[in-house]
Structure 1
Amino acid sequence: MTRRPDPALCAAKPSASRGRLHAEPESANRTPFQRDRDRIIHCGAFRRLKHKTQVFVEHEGDYYRTRLTHSLEVAQVARTLARSLGLDEDLAEAVALAHDLGHTPFGHTGEDALAERMAPFGGFDHNAQALKIVTRIEQRYADFDGLNLTWETLEGIAKHNGPLLPGVGADRSGLPYAIADYDARHDLELHTHASAEAQTAALSDDIAYNTHDLDDGLRAGLFTVEEARTLPLVGEAWAEVDARWPGLDPLRAQSEALRRVFGMMVADVTAESGARLARLGASCMAEVQAAPEPVIAFSSGMRAAISALRRFLMARMYRHWRVARMRRKAATVVSDLFAIFSEEPHLMPPDWSAAARAAGAGGAAERARVIADYIAGMTDRFALQEHKVLTDPQARA
């Protein structure tokens, strides 16, 4: 009888980790990936996610998801999927918790505004910024900058959207600066796929934001239940709730329906990924990384359903006039702050001002990157406060 390949054979093994850039003694109580997870949770950038928003500007309401609540939801899904597939749960969770550390205030709007300002200086990318935070910006340890995470966690952060290079020796000029800078010191093999655990974290991100953006959009009144029910998955889930609990309170019905949408996505990824891993028959993590396609994925049918959902959210939520107004204000805040600090770096706090002056010796691009780091680390409320102090004559400094 032919023995069926065990998908768990390709899981990342803590005992076989490729280690850290700076050698450290191993913990007696935690695996290397557990230590990574704990370091991420305790870092300052993770705490600030509490006051960084997804779609809505923070002061518009306290109910809507923040980057922190989103990251926790992604981590929960990643652990569930990893457990179902026999992968290392701690590595999947660590990558999930770190994936949004590099986000600017005001979500993708702030990122777009900062990227526009940074275009002459190498650009700005939140995935690259997350890598920079955990390898340079966080300063909590005596022996090194950053968190000194394992190679596997850093690989997962850098390759959140898949391989970054078509092959070894390819031109690296198009890489985000922060990723190219770190990769030159510590090769992350950017031409390959990430581990199955990191791929799991990336798909968990999709599952989480697809469902919670529906929830937030409905609660904000940006579209109606009747409109949402025209969507694949959503209509099926709501019909099931109606049949089981006729006349259920609308908010409870919404929660029950979206919980089912969530479950459908998780079940689909579990089935499709289990089949891909079994077909590949990988006996180690390296074979997953070298595979011609991702091993953690949605089925073709689920991808089509999610594409329809994303088109709906783009038209009815992300481009809604109320959201567009907030996006306009947020972009102005970020753009203005960059212009002000570029002209007068001494208006930043002393440590950042000193860093900008020191970086200036290396050229305008180096100074601009320090200013971008300062702005990217701001919470929504702090960015609004800084903008008001610097632009409103009646505001107290």
Structure 2
Amino acid sequence: MNIREKYEQFEAEHLSERASKTKFSKGRAVEEPKCEIRTDYQRDRDRILHSKSFRRLKHKTQVFLSPEGDHYRTRLTHTLEVSQISRTIARSLGLNEDLTEAIAMGHDLGHTPFGHTGERILNELCISGFKHNEQSLRVVDFLEIRNDKHGLNLTYEVRDGILNHPMEYKPSTLEGEIVNLSDRIAYINHDIDDASRANIIKPGQIPRQFLDNLGSTHGQRINTMILDVIKNSMDKDSISMSSEVAYLTRKLRDFLFENVYYNKVAKSEEEKATFILTKIYEYYSRNFDKLPKFYTDIYKENNFTKSEIIKDYIAGMTDRYAMKIFEDLYMPKPWRQ
């Protein structure tokens, strides 16, 4: 019995009967030899972690466009916080921590530059629309290259969790449900933290009902929500908060939309981001052959529209790369003799 087989046996003997056991995974689209030391879910996590798309998350905006401070969240730090929260809940409930971590690591790979502003712009510009969860799945299924082949060839359960991580979706595993909920717990709390640092949320502005019932600090609120999810989901067929904490969490999210996400200070650069991405999209719509060879080759070899390919290129950009491309395309260059 090798190391992987011992761990699969550990899953069978020690995880909850409701957990997704690696040995019973629905598998990969293309069958592969098993690893001697890692389960399939552990391999999926590692493939995501070593991907270019994952590394680019460190330069993609979470909420605040072009933040000047070093301590504001990016898509990468958000992803790591979702992973930590998800793993804590999964471990406490006896569910598959490796599957949960893999889903968490991959859930935002398809996010655009400039946060949800970029997502909105691409959804308006692209003929087929744009949703970041669908793009995340497209990244792991096709756009990432592994062993000179398109896609990471992840397991069904990880792919399902990535696609169904937004709050209005329903994953097929409890581990996917954990990430779905942990995503909300993470962004609600770290966006309060970032907005307070930016002085967008003023001292005393957060209503007392949230401070008194969820906690007065970042750590206390996260702890309250995590403990509530664990207590409310123990030995059940779904992952959820209690009705009281779910209500407070929903109302706290509404407070953020009103005071942060639609705040003119937080979105002061949104008009510029809209202009930049729109102009990049328009340029490549007129000059499709100017796209990098990687993308023009995809178009020649597959049944995708030009709009889809341009969308793939822009969605994969970091904030600073989008600004560089815009400058290269539209800003005059100094003339040198």
Indicate whether the TM-score tops 0.5: yes
Answer whether contact 2:314 2:322 (CA < 8 A) is retained. yes
Instruction: Name the CA distance, whole Å, in 2 between partners of 1:94 and 1:107.
Output: 22
- Contact 2:167-2:181 at 8 Å conserved across structures: no
Write out aligned runs for 1:295-310 (5 A): 295-310=238-253
Alignment of 1:104-123 (within 5 A): 104-118=112-126, 121-123=127-129
Match of 1:45 among 50, 53, 66: 53
- Matched with 2:38 is 30
Where does residue 158 of structure 2 map in the other structure?
153
Contact 1:33 1:153 in 2 (8 A): yes
Matches within 5 A, 1:163-202: 193-202=171-180
Distance of 1:273 and 1:97 partners within structure 2: 23
Take 1:261 and 1:36, find their aligned partners in 2: how far apart are those partners? 31
Amino acid at match of 1:208: A
**CA contact 2:119–2:132 (8 Å) conserved in 1:** yes
Q: What amino acid maps onto 2:201 in structure 1?
A: F
Deviations 1:145-184 (A, max 9, x none): 21011111111112223786xxxxxxxxxxxxxxxxxxxx
1:132 to 122, 138, 146: 138
State the partner residue of 2:254: 311
1:326 aligned residue (269, 275, 281): 269
- For residues 32 and 220 of structure 1, the distance between their equivalents in structure 2, rounded to whole angstroms, comes to 42
Q: 2: CA distance between counterparts of 1:36 and 1:73?
A: 19
Q: 1:96 aligns with which of 104, 109, 113?
A: 104
The question of 1:273 aligning with 2:233 is answered yes
- Post-superposition offset of 1:235: 4.1
- Whole-angstrom distance in 1 between the partners of 2:214 and 2:185: 15
2:229 touches 2:241 (CA, 8 Å); kept in 1? yes
Which aligned pairs between 1:11-30 and structure 2 lie closer than 5 A? 11-30=19-38
Displacement of 1:236 in angstroms is 4.8
Whole-angstrom distance in 1 between the partners of 2:152 and 2:84: 22
Deviations 1:304-341 (A, max 9, x none): 11122112111111111122221221122111111111
**Equivalent AA in structure 1 for residue 132 of structure 2:** H
Deviation readout 1:274-300 (Å, 9 max, x if unpaired): 16x1xx5xxxxxxxxxxxxxx111111
Q: Residue 205 of structure 2 aligns to a residue in which SS?
A: helix
Aligned partner of 2:155: which letter? Answer: T
Q: Are residues 237 and 129 of structure 1, via their aligned partners in 2, closer, same or farther at CA, if it must alter by over 3 Å?
A: closer
The answer (yes or no) to whether the contact 2:214–2:224 under 8 Å persists in 1 is no
Equivalent residue for 1:87, pick from 95, 105, 110: 95
How far did 1:354 drift? Answer: 4.2
Q: Distance in 1 between matches of 2:265 and 2:21?
A: 47
TM-superposed CA distance for 1:62, in Å, is: 2.6
Tell me, in whole angstroms, the C-alpha distance in 2 between the residues paired with 1:41 and 1:76.
14
Aligned residue for 1:9, secondary structure, equals coil
Kept in 1, the 8 Å contact 2:233–2:239? The answer is yes
**Ranges in structure 1 where 5+ consecutive residues have no aligned partner:** 1-5, 165-191, 240-256, 281-294
Partner in structure 2 of residue 252 of structure 1: none
Q: How far is 1:233 from its partner?
A: 3.1
What SS does structure 2 have at the residue aligned with 1:25? coil
User: Is this contact kept in 2: 1:11–1:87, CA < 8 A?
Assistant: yes
- Give the residue type in structure 1 aligned to 2:58: K
> What corresponds to 1:258 in structure 2?
218
**Residues of 2 paired with 1:377 and 1:263: CA distance?**
34
Q: Residue type of the partner of 1:156?
A: G
Distance 1:349 1:374 in 2: 9
Task: Indicate the residue corresponding to 1:244 in structure 2.
Answer: none
Equivalent in the alignment of 2:86: 78
TM superposition score normalised by structure 1: 0.77
What is the aligned partner in structure 2 of residue 233 from structure 1? 210
The one-letter amino acid paired with 1:136 is: F
Percent of aligned pairs with the same amino acid: 41
Residue 210 of structure 1, aligned match among 184, 188, 196 = 188
Stretches of structure 2 that go unaligned for 5 or more consecutive residues are 1-13
Question: Given the superposition, is the C-alpha separation of residues 269 and 227 from structure 1 closer, same or farther in structure 2, using an over 3 Å criterion?
Answer: same
Q: Which runs of 4+ in 1 moved over 6 A?
A: none
Cα distance in 2 for partners of 1:148, 1:7 equals: 26
Contact preservation (8 Å) 1:162, 1:193? no
Q: Deviation per CA, 1:18-50: give whole Å up to 9, x if none.
A: 111111010110011100100010001000000
> In 2, Cα distance between the equivalents of 1:308 and 1:345?
45
Kept after mapping to 2: 8 A contact 1:110/1:334: yes
Note closer, same or farther for the CA distance 1:233–1:40 as it changes in structure 2 (3 Å cut): same
Q: Given residue 337 of structure 1, which amino acid in structure 2 is its aligned partner? A: I
The 8 Å contact of residues 214 and 225 in structure 2, kept in 1 or not, is answered as: no
Q: What is the TM-score of this pair, normalised by structure 2?
A: 0.90
